[in-house]
């Protein structure tokens, strides 16, 4: 017997990669770049063992529309409900990352300081890498302390494209702004 239903849909992006988006009754719970549908469904089934998986663009109409607006340069923030699942520490990191303004970047160290765990830079990086909602929780806006682009689940090229979409100079950031 299923305990919940997860709706999912695919959207093309102008970055050469497509997105899969999934939502529960609580809100959007997963965004993934570039998987095949069977791979995305398998990942959802591993994380939500008790969920019925239903492909339904209409159920995701608002998130898909807002993401399309973001890729078209007409949206900087998102208003649809979010339901990322993670540990208390991950949630704290993701909340800090969600506060990075559009078109700005910050460092893993700055995130660690913001959550009052200045010695936990690697743990912050790991939590950032576990972000289930890239773009919406803008983990692509977190860079290395030396200004280098590093660590992005979709790959460095995709991170660079997202930052370029947001009009950021992405070669090297001499002094990353701290939000």
- Higher confidence at residue 171 or residue 1? 1
The CATH number of whichever domain residue 132 belongs to comes to: 1.10.10.10
Q: Which residue has the tokens 């770049």?
A: 33
Residue 172 has pLDDT above 50, yes or no: no
Helix (H/G/I), strand (E/B), else coil: 27: coil
What is the extent of the structural domain holding 39? Answer: 4-71
pLDDT in tens, 18-66: 999 999 999 999 999 988 999 999 999 999 999 999 999 999 999 999 9
Of 9, 96, 139, 149, which is the active-site residue?
139
Is the domain of 93 the same as that of 63? no
What domain count does the chain have?
2
Residue 51 is predicted with a pLDDT of 95
* Helix, strand or coil, per DSSP, at residue 103: coil
Say what the pTM is. 0.89
What is the chain's mean pLDDT, rounded? 91
Q: What is the pLDDT of residues 106-143, one digit of tens each?
A: 999 999 999 999 999 999 999 999 999 999 999 999 99
Strand 142-143 to strand 51-55: parallel, antiparallel, or no bridges (unpaired)?
A: unpaired
Q: What is the DSSP letter of 82?
A: B
Burial class from Cβ neighbours inside 10 Å (0-12, 13-18, 19+) for residue 2 reads exposed
The answer to whether 59 and 103 have CB atoms below 8 angstroms apart is: no
| Cα(21)–Cα(28) distance, integer angstroms | 7
Q: 160 - beta bridge partners?
A: none
- Domain identity same for 94 and 57: no
Residue 45 lies in a domain: yes
CB of 114 within 8 A of CB of 96? yes
Task: Judge whether 139 counts as a catalytic residue.
Answer: yes
């Amino acid at each position: 017997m299923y305990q919940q239903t997860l709706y999912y849909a695919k959207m093309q992006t102008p970055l050469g990669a497509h997105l899969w988006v999934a939502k529960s009754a609580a809100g959007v719970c997963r965004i993934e770049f570039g998987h095949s549908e069977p791979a995305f469904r398998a990942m959802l089934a591993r994380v939500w063992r008790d969920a019925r998986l239903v492909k339904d663009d209409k159920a995701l109409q608002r998130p898909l529309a807002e993401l399309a607006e973001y890729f078209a340069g007409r949206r900087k923030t998102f208003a649809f409900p979010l339901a990322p699942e993670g540990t208390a520490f991950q949630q704290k990191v993701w909340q800090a990352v969600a506060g990075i303004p559009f078109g700005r970047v910050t460092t893993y160290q700055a995130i660690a300081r913001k959550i009052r765990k200045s010695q936990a830079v690697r743990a912050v990086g790991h939590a950032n890498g576990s972000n289930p909602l890239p773009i919406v929780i803008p983990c692509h806006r977190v860079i290395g302390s030396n200004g280098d682009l590093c660590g992005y689940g979709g790959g460095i090229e995709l991170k660079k494209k997202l930052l370029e979409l947001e009009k950021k100079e992405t070669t090297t950031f001499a002094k990353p702004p701290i939000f």
